[in-house]
Chain A
Amino acid sequence: MDEKVLLVDDEGEFLDTLAERMRNRGMEVTTSMSAVDAIHKTEEDDFDVIILDLLMPGMDGIQALKALKERKPDLQVILLTGHATVQKGVEAMKLGAMDLLEKPADINELTEKIMKAKAQKMILVEKKAEQKIRDILKTKSW
């Protein structure tokens, strides 16, 4: 496994421990304790998936999701929440989140979703690459 993950949560102990467990499973994990810092990190680096806490001081998960998707529409985002409601789930999906998980989350379930997220991202990257090739072929008509 070599998924590149950005983990965002204001609860330090939760963040550090989950990051360690994910690294033990072969993932490359970067952590962030705020949505603002997470947005900066996504501008500096490319991630397969972002795991984002819904309720954080300052900018919350929904606002962060909007901001992230505006900058990088192909970004795969999984939201973590202490209380998953249908309303929140619908709002998150409408904004482009890949999934919504309730805390405490099962790491196996989370890992599966991360792998799906990476696969989804690869499909999007491939589609873009194919489109680029088609565009080049159109312009260069030999």
Chain B
Amino acid sequence: MNANDAALQETGLQFFGKLSASVSHDLKNVLAVINEKAGLLEDFCYMARQGRAIDMDRIEAVTAQVKGQVERADEIIRCFNRFAHSTDHPVAPTDLGQSVATLVHLAQRLLAQLEVSVDVRPTEIPVALSTRPLMVQEMIWACIQWVAGHLGEKKALSISTERSGKGARVLIGPVANLSAETAAAVPPTVTEDLQKALNADLSLDPASGMLQIQLAPLEAPP
């Protein structure tokens, strides 16, 4: 393994670790809510034993809220499982739209810390591409973070995926106050090695302000 490969592996691991930590934090929050709801039901039991009337509607509402939190955790874990499986093969057919949706769902807390709202535009038909599943998400995340630092007052961005010839394209933006410097600056965390490994080309469209990630298909290793 050469130094470039080692560097790519390291950044990939850091990306995986960062998202994993965010997921664990989200799940802790779900457990904290469930813990308090269970505690509240315990409190109701205690109050009932002390002779206070039981509010059945309240108990029903609290148990429904617990179920809601279980569904929330289930969705997080389902997405995380999908994300974890993106390491199964170095190069694989990848549904880009689903990858973006999974990434944004898992990164909700990180995006909330950036105080940015993200609108993932759904695709009518899946945008499939043979690529490096984890690495492409790493690049998309780096681009999201960069765009998030160059937004207007509204602090909102959209992400869409579309077919582009034999490859595919991911569009993130719009970047506000576009200048010549901004247009020339590829997200600094997206290294040339990462672009090369993904056969990707990054550019900023001055008309729309959208950061474009153009991806060509990769061949799976023998």
Chain A residues proximal to chain B, CB less than 8 Å:
10-11, 13-14, 17-18, 20-21, 24, 55, 57-58, 60, 82-83, 103-105, 107
Contact yes or no, A17 B115, CB < 8 A:
no
Q: How far is the CB of B151 from chain A (nearest CB, A)?
A: 15
Contact yes or no, B65 A104, CB < 8 A:
no
Instruction: List 3 tightest A-B contacts by C-beta distance, closest first.
Output: A104-B35, A82-B28, A17-B36
Q: How far is the CB of B156 from chain A (nearest CB, A)?
A: 14
Q: How far is the CB of B14 from chain A (nearest CB, A)?
A: 17
Q: With A and B bound together, what is the CA distance between A24 and B28 in angstroms?
A: 24
> Which residues of the other chain, A, contact B40 by a CB distance below 8 angstroms?
17, 20-21
Q: With A and B bound together, what is the CA distance between A55 and B29 in angstroms?
A: 11
Contact yes or no, B36 A82, CB < 8 A:
no
- Option from B25, B31, B47, B112 in Cβ contact (under 8 Å) with A104: B31
- Option from B28, B31, B36 in Cβ contact (under 8 Å) with A83: B28
Interface band, chain B: 20 to 34
Contact yes or no, A107 B39, CB < 8 A:
yes
> Is B177 an interface position by the 8 A CB rule?
no
A-B contact pairs, 27 of them (CB 8 A): A11-B29, A11-B32, A13-B33, A13-B37, A13-B65, A14-B32, A17-B33, A17-B39, A21-B40, A21-B43, A24-B43, A82-B25, A82-B29, A82-B32, A83-B24, A103-B28, A103-B29, A103-B31, A103-B32, A103-B35, A104-B31, A104-B35, A104-B36, A105-B32, A105-B35, A107-B36, A107-B39
**Chain B interface mostly helix, strand, loop or mixed?**
helix
Instruction: Please judge, given known A-B contacts A13-B69, A103-B29, whether A57 and B24 are in contact too, CB under 8 Å.
Output: no
Contact yes or no, A104 B32, CB < 8 A:
yes
> Which residues of the other chain, A, contact B163 by a CB distance below 8 angstroms?
none
Q: With A and B bound together, what is the CA distance between A99 and B24 in angstroms?
A: 22
Chain B residues proximal to chain A, CB less than 8 Å:
21, 24-25, 28-29, 31-37, 39-40, 43, 47, 65, 69, 109, 112-113, 115
> Which residues of the other chain, A, contact B69 by a CB distance below 8 angstroms?
13
Q: How far is the CB of B129 from chain A (nearest CB, A)?
A: 33
Q: With A and B bound together, what is the CA distance between A134 and B36 in angstroms?
A: 47
Q: With A and B bound together, what is the CA distance between A18 and B37 in angstroms?
A: 8
Q: How far is the CB of A77 from chain B (nearest CB, A)?
A: 18
Contact yes or no, A82 B24, CB < 8 A:
yes
- Option from B32, B35, B65, B115 in Cβ contact (under 8 Å) with A57: B115
Instruction: Please judge, given known A-B contacts A103-B28, A107-B39, whether A11 and B33 are in contact too, CB under 8 Å.
Output: yes
Contact yes or no, B112 A57, CB < 8 A:
yes
> Which residues of the other chain, A, contact B36 by a CB distance below 8 angstroms?
13-14, 17-18, 21, 104, 107
> Which residues of the other chain, A, contact B43 by a CB distance below 8 angstroms?
21, 24
Q: With A and B bound together, what is the CA distance between A51 and B47 in angstroms?
A: 25
Closest A residue to B22 by CB, please name it. Answer: A55
Contact yes or no, B113 A14, CB < 8 A:
no
Q: With A and B bound together, what is the CA distance between A104 and B69 in angstroms?
A: 14
